[in-house]
Structure 1
């Protein structure tokens, strides 16, 4: 008999910084790890849009997001600049510790923040898919989209490997 994985989803706090950096280091190559000062500034810039998953061992996953504009791509190592007239919830960084892989935690974190985006009245969500994760995002309703702005194309090109800008309507059925 398989037992359900028990964890709590809650807003990220500054006290979570070390644990978040530990999960980041376990999930990303050095070239994609962002410094503590940037991570902390993002928590402070969008406190309602950054969440952690906490299990019996502590933080086991996180998702950084913020209200933005469609077509805007946040470069690696750049602070968040939440838009006053946002039309998308931009998901910037999703990571799940190896000990929690295969338990649906990434999907739960995304569903949690998409619901937050809906509560803000945002019509869409967008993101940059890295590390060959486009199939995961496509399964959640995201589709590849073009970026027209030269700054957004440059930011997208700054990600290592193949990076894809993707978006989904928040009017679609919620994730379950």
Structure 2
């Protein structure tokens, strides 16, 4: 069954917490309150994939500036002059793994970013996901300033800031 992509709803938060718990180590789990704030900050960039059992994957994004890293549990803060779609927290439930749902969600948000004429997309890769993101066009960026390096270190696990040009 092909999943349905749709905007996230507040009622999806319990399912998102369950998917997050399957996908991430305990160090990386974000609370229901943080997830609700992410949804509130950029509802047009918070999406879920659903199957017959309900939400099976999700992705948060927001408009940012290239070279800016959101710390773990950090608030999304959109600048006055965004040039980048920042992807945060893509997770797929075990039951939906291997069906290409993650790339579908990413493509949905990248299409939105291109329509808004954003020049870049960026993210923080954790849990050995760098190869996945590389297949989707992202490359490691190592030119972060000291403050952004500290934000990257907030993840408490090996983390890599990755970027791709959109135009």
Corresponding position of 1:137: 133
Corresponding position of 1:58: 54
TM-superposition CA deviations, 1:50-86 (whole Å, max 9, x none)? 1100111000000011000011111111111122210
Mind listing any 5+ residue stretches in structure 2 that lack a counterpart?
none
The 8 Å contact of residues 143 and 167 in structure 1, kept in 2 or not, is answered as yes
Equivalent residue runs for 1:63-78 within 5 Å: 63-78=59-74
TM-score of the superposition, structure 2-length normalised? 0.97
Mind listing any 5+ residue stretches in structure 1 that lack a counterpart?
172-176
How many residue pairs match? The answer is 167
The 8 Å contact of residues 71 and 152 in structure 1, kept in 2 or not, is answered as yes
TM-score of the superposition, structure 1-length normalised? 0.92
Corresponding position of 1:126: 122
CA RMSD of aligned residues (A): 0.9
Asked whether 1:49 is paired with 2:81, we answer no
Asked whether 1:161 is paired with 2:121, we answer no
Note the C-alpha offset of 1:160: 2.8
